[in-house]
Amino acid sequence: MRKLKRKKDIDLLKKLLSKKNLRLNEKGNYPISFTSPIDDLELPAILFNSLLMEGIYTIGELCGYPENYIKSLRNIGNSLTKTLILCLKKYDFKLIEYNEIKVTPTSCIEDLRLSKSSTYSLKNYYKIRNVADILTFSPCEVKFWLIDENDKNHIHTILSANNLHLFDPIEKDFINIDSRIENLKLNQRILSALLFAKIKTISQLCNLTRKDLQRIVGLNNNDIEKIISILKKHSFSLSN
């Protein structure tokens, strides 16, 4: 687009573009919309590169994340987040609020606004495609699966804002063979090792032998003795 020199022309064009949610860039050269690349915002290099590393390429994608999430990204922090907000404000764009993020059990996993790495992990390694899938798992499992540390608080905030909650094992004195292993109250390290090995229920655990447990990465002999002891407490045992 040829650069407009007269202020009257620029003001008229801005008015017309605003009706279609478009804005001229700072120099009045071309329109900016949600589909425009983030480099049109003329961000500081460190901020621009950090967003690209998170897989955020367009203004629309950027505006889909809340302030606290952007702030927690690597190399960004408070100062650069404020700079970003000001850059967006120039074109009447803004970051979304947590209470504006609407998800339901049928929403796809991308709607949770997790990082690119965590979304890839959930979809490709754990075959989770929508929010309903993730709600069937416990906070411990989900925390273990999320590659990006920022996502661990982020996902709880979004789910809570939509009155959704991850699976919470019911605390009971009596535990049956089909109960999830979280009910055994194992320590976090042992629990994570078992979950990583796809052992989710007491039934699956009891079908293993001591040798099977020794092959699980992250478990040592002391851990195995603790598992045997806790199983015995609930009248269960490993397979012979």
Question: Do residues 34 and 21 make contact, with C-beta atoms less than 8 angstroms apart?
Answer: yes
What residues in the chain have per-residue pLDDT under 70?
Answer: 1-31, 168-174
What is residue 31's predicted lDDT score, i.e. its pLDDT?
Answer: 65
Please name each of the domains of the chain with its CATH number: 7-98 (1.10.150.20), 103-161 (no CATH), 181-233 (1.10.150)
Contact 216, 193 (CB under 8 A): yes
Q: Kindly give, in sequence order, each residue whose CB lies less than 8 Å from that of residue 4, ignoring residues fewer than 6 positions away.
A: 10, 13, 28
Distance CA 82, CA 87 (A): 9
3-class state of residue 49 by DSSP: helix
pLDDT score of 174 = 55
